Amino acid sequence: MSDKARLERHGRIAVIFIENPPVNAMSVGVPGALIACLDQAQADDEIDAIVLTGGNKGLIGGADINMLGKPWPEGEPTLHMLIDALDACKKPVVAALQAHTLGGGYEIALGCHYRLIHPAGQVGLPEVNLGIPPGAGGTQRLPRLIGLEKAAEVIVGGKPAKAAKAFDMGMVDRIAAEGDLLEQAIAFAQDVAGKGAATPISARSVTLPSDGFFDDLRASWAKKAKGLRAPMACIDCLEASLLPFPEGYAESRRIFLDCAGSEEAAALRHMFFAERTAAKIDGIDNKQSTRPVSTVGVIGAGTMGSGIAIAMLDSGYSVILMERNKDALDAGCARIDKNYAGQVAKGRMTEDAKAKRIGALTAVTDIEAMADADLVVEAVFEDLGVKQAIFADLARVTKPGAILATNTSYIDVNKIAEAAGERVSDVLGMHFFSPANIMKLLEIVRADKAAPDALLTAMSVGRKMGKTAVVAGICDGFIGNRIYNVYRREAIFLLEEGASPSQVDKAMTDFGMALGPFAVMDLAGLDIAWAQRKATAHLRDPNKRYCTLPDRLCELGRFGQKTSRGFYIYEEGNRKPIPDPEVEALAAETAAEAGITRRTITDEEIVQRCLFALVNEACAILDEGIAQRESDIDVVFCNGYGFPRRRGGPMFWAGRVGFDKVLSQVKQYSQTHDFWDPSPALVRLANN
């Protein structure tokens, strides 16, 4: 018998274990080993029923993602053949599902006759997030099990269902009690043994909920999909389930294979692996222990501080929120309460859940209260002196081993850490993105003397909050803001040279960006970047181009959405940007002052200027070690700056365009524009 699977007898029940750690994925050799065990159990007259479960951690993984887009060895049994064998088995088969059983793992369970799930388990078909529909019959079997409406929610939405919801939806037959899952699965198999094999799901019929069901489903997903092909492909597969099973299955396979070879799927696979790789910190063993964190202090009760507090409360931490000014503290607490009240009103949270979160919040005006915190996140305004004073106090009042983190966006974390004296190894950066309780990206800024376990703990806290954490080195703006500033710079130059804010924004949203650069600037507030420019004006090279237009807008009190004027006009109660001729007139005026002749600019130039500048700067920070790897930059921009996941992030996209083509264009722009010197890393990538 293969070492990829094993069969144990428990009386008249056969238990087949999948043995392919760590997640029991269906790599080459695994389906064949399982089919052999299944054949053995079926041929044994002393066996009445079968339990299928995962070995080691009990997981049942699906298709090996590494094999997507690659040829399967000829003659080797496949995942599809395994599911067909389960479907055709004449003895009842119970799938015992532990933890998360997703994708092909759940498709295996759908090939079985019964499904038992651990109370903490989840099931689902999230393949849409990889740019593909489920490819092993899930789009055909699930509608036959739970109906088309529920199947569409699971397959097109791509979100896993926890055990209780899965049971309510009919995705599983029974939820196990706490205790030994295998023991309960064997008892379940004994219960159904005398009944023979249940009707396989493939033999059931599908009912169309209404005549316009698929038209309505496509219309509802047209905007949500944001240019993605996979959600629509999932709907096409679901529609095929109305056909007899063999025909529907064949059509779903055709659609799956078409998607699997697409650029979209390649980009989303890249992001899947990139986000997992980002969790690894160079030079540190990620398996070493982390520090315990149960109470988190947050200093600063403004928009960012209260958002961080909400994120921590949502993750089960007790939070001490500190603000020296009592009125500001009360305003922060009111902001937190308003957030939870809104969730209750929308049915996303119960009053009891709200009360529990608010009950875990302690509001204080004295930094001495941080003595009980295991982690403190400072989120005050960007002033080095103020932050240094806070960290000097934190080093004094917090307990040994408490992690001291700054949420600074630009300031040198090493200089902040110096103020902590002997506690310097406890200091690092945790750069949240606004709104902190919603945005997924979290930059963990690696101070020079930060202890390895402090960094690992910060990463662990980020994961618990549901964030995608990326390690960044120290420079002005770290990874994301430093690169984005270059993207924003070119957008402003293009405006001065003849484009309009709406043209630039449309070109970038047509490319796939969530928002255009000028809409983003208005949303964030033009005054924030203005303050940063004024603070660093003495560092600016007087011989290089500088556009005064954003400063002029700020001098006019146009700070963006908050003042109803920025690069656009905003009407009360409506955040939709309205083009403003006054801004274009100001752009023409600043261009004349700078001796720039305005011209017609194409959308192609807009995309190239903004994104090639971004890629060139990204290569520069790779050279400097600010980012650990190319894929980390992709993770930052897809999770924090609205770069389209279907393009795989700026570095993946540039690789598909061709780094040689990017370099050639960068060299051309360097002949006529400032700031376009090719990065050495870009040159190396182009040469490779």
Active site residues: 107, 127
Q: Residue 670 corresponds to which amino acid?
A: S
Structure token digits, residue 237? 């597969």
Biggest alpha carbon–alpha carbon distance for the chain:
93
Distance CA 17, CA 54 (A): 5
Cβ-Cβ contacts under 8 Å for 500 (sequence gap 6 or more): 579, 584
263-277 helix and 630-640 helix, angle to the nearest 10 degrees: 100
Distance CA 310, CA 357 (A): 9
Q: Residue 299 corresponds to which amino acid?
A: I
- Give the three-state DSSP class for 227: coil
Structure token digits, residue 270? 């890249």
Contact call for residues 485 and 462 (beta carbons, < 8 A): no
**Percent of the chain as helix, strand, coil, to the nearest 5:** 50, 10, 35
Query: Which of 400, 407, 418, 411 has its CA nearest to residue 378?
Result: 407
Distance CA 486, CA 356 (A): 44
Query: Which of 30, 45, 47, 124 has its CA nearest to residue 85?
Result: 30
Render 236-283 in DSSP notation, one character per residue: HHHHHTTS-HHHHHHHHHHHHHHHHTSHHHHHHHHHHHHHHHTT--TT
Partners of 100 in beta bridges = 122
Buried b / exposed e along 208-221 (16+ C-beta atoms within 10 A): eeeeeebeebbeeb
Contact call for residues 365 and 392 (beta carbons, < 8 A): no
